[in-house]
Amino acid sequence: MTNTQIPNSQAPAVRSRPAAPPAAVRPSVRDRGSRLLAALFLAPTVVGIVVFTVVPIVGSVVLSLFHWNVIDPPRFAGGANYRTTFTDSTVLVSFRNTLVFMVLAVALQLLIALSLALALNARMPGWLRSLFRSAFFFPLVLSAASISVVMKYLFNQDFGVVNWLIGLVGVAPVPWLTSEHAAMATVVLVYVWQQFGFSFLLFVGGLNNIPKEIHEAAALDGATGLRKHLGVTLPLLSPTLLVASVVGIINALQVFEQPYVLTDGGPGDATLTVVMVIYERAFEQLDFGEASAVGTLLFALIMAVTALQFRLSRRFVHYQ
């Protein structure tokens, strides 16, 4: 993000002009012009953010305190929607599923991404390295919904390519989409397949930022291989690890497309996620109050997990 295209000669040439007279006369006019311009420049963003984010956040909390089906006028409900939420087994299951999904997906995603980023540091021709990098990052540009359509065929129990592949090494066909545990695993795999490239790019960037001298010093001390990675690379990479896990967790808690297309939350409620419940409650059952209560709880959960993570990270993250 540097601006190499700016000719160096330009700035000094202009700066040598007499500076005093205009600077003394103009400030007030300039300030007013600057303030007016700032107001114009900020208006679209600030108005947009207030209307489409700030008001909806407040609205979500307010709505969660009402019974409302859009058709009849809203009735004040107090904490009734939250009480329903905490006793509604479907909602509870969706929170449990989402947390299980988050733990599995984020752990797998970080593990794969970090391993591949480290492996990419091996000696190899530059074109090969950029080929690998492009391949791992490619799924990120695809639509999660369309890819889930494709994966639904690939993971089909009877004619899917996945069962054929594992059959080659003698594994019996797995009911990927129709048994409870396998369905969750499939949703995790499909999600991680698409998302790991994001953490991978972060790690590649983080590894490039580690000064070579540190690796050389560690090598002189005899640290190589796994030992070097655990003792030297990982601590230096910990800020990147924090960003990757925070963003990974925030995104995983909002998972929707993959379970919606692959399993529609099933079998039973085995892969029903919180955002799917918000969708169903609001836009299929028109229960806007309870949908808002679930949404508010999800928001609180995301905030809590993120805050906890930053707190824990103070003990583990090393800044250079």
Partner 1 sequence: MSAMSQATPTLKVTPTLSRVRHPLAPWTRIAVLTVCALLTLGPVIWTVSTSLRTPAQSFDLPPQIIPTHPTTAAYRGVFDQIDVWLLALNSTLVTALIAVGQMITAGLAGYAFARLEFRFKKPLFGLVLATMMVPLQVTIVPVFLVLKSMGLTDTLLGLILPAFPTAFGTFLMRQYFLGMPKDLGEAAMLDGAGPWRIFRSVYAPLAAPGLAIVGVLAFNYHWNEFFRPLILETSSQNYTLPLGLVSLQGNLGTGSISVVLAGVVLSMLPALAVFVVGQRPLREGITSAGVNR
171 binds partner 1 (CB under 8 A): no
Which DSSP string do the residues of 146-168 spell out, in sequence order? HHHHHHHHHT-TTT-HHHHHHHH
172 binds partner 1 (CB under 8 A): no
137 binds partner 1 (CB under 8 A): yes
4 binds partner 1 (CB under 8 A): no
Among 92, 103, 145, 304, binds partner 1 (CB under 8 A): 145
Among 71, 123, 169, 212, binds partner 1 (CB under 8 A): 123
Site for partner 1 in 189-218 (CB under 8 A): 193, 197-198, 201-202, 205, 214, 217-218
Specify the DSSP element, H or E, that contains 67. strand 66-67
Least Cβ distance, residue 303 to partner 1 (angstroms): 8
Residue among 48, 39, 101, 63 at smallest CA distance from 270: 101
286 binds partner 1 (CB under 8 A): no
Stretch that binds partner 1, among 11-19, 83-91, 99-107, 171-179 (CB under 8 A): 11-19
Among 51, 100, 171, 304, binds partner 1 (CB under 8 A): 51
Nearer to partner 1, 45 or 89 (CB): 45
Q: How many CA atoms lie within 13 A of 228 on its CB side?
A: 13
285 binds partner 1 (CB under 8 A): no
Cis peptide before 7 (omega within 30 of 0): no
Least Cβ distance, residue 181 to partner 1 (angstroms): 22
Question: Tokens 């489409």, residue?
Answer: 52
**Total binding residues for partner 1 by CB under 8 A?**
123
CA–CA separation, 245 and 256 (whole Å):
19
Among 30, 75, 83, 96, binds partner 1 (CB under 8 A): 30
Enumerate residues 6+ apart whose C-beta is below 8 A from 199: 109, 110, 113, 114, 244, 248
Residue type, 218: A
Enumerate residues 6+ apart whose C-beta is below 8 A from 277: 90, 91, 94, 291, 294
254 binds partner 1 (CB under 8 A): yes
Question: Tokens 């449990």, residue?
Answer: 96
221 binds partner 1 (CB under 8 A): yes
135 binds partner 1 (CB under 8 A): yes
177 binds partner 1 (CB under 8 A): no
310 binds partner 1 (CB under 8 A): no
Q: Tell me the three state secondary structure of residue 75.
A: strand
The answer to whether the beta carbons of residues 113 and 203 sit under 8 Å apart is yes
CA–CA separation, 270 and 98 (whole Å):
10
Least Cβ distance, residue 232 to partner 1 (angstroms): 6
Site string for partner 1, 70-109 (x = CB under 8 A): ----------------------------------------
DSSP label at residue 287: -
266 binds partner 1 (CB under 8 A): no
Among 79, 86, 96, 146, binds partner 1 (CB under 8 A): 146
Q: Tell me the three state secondary structure of residue 69.
A: coil
CA–CA separation, 219 and 139 (whole Å):
36
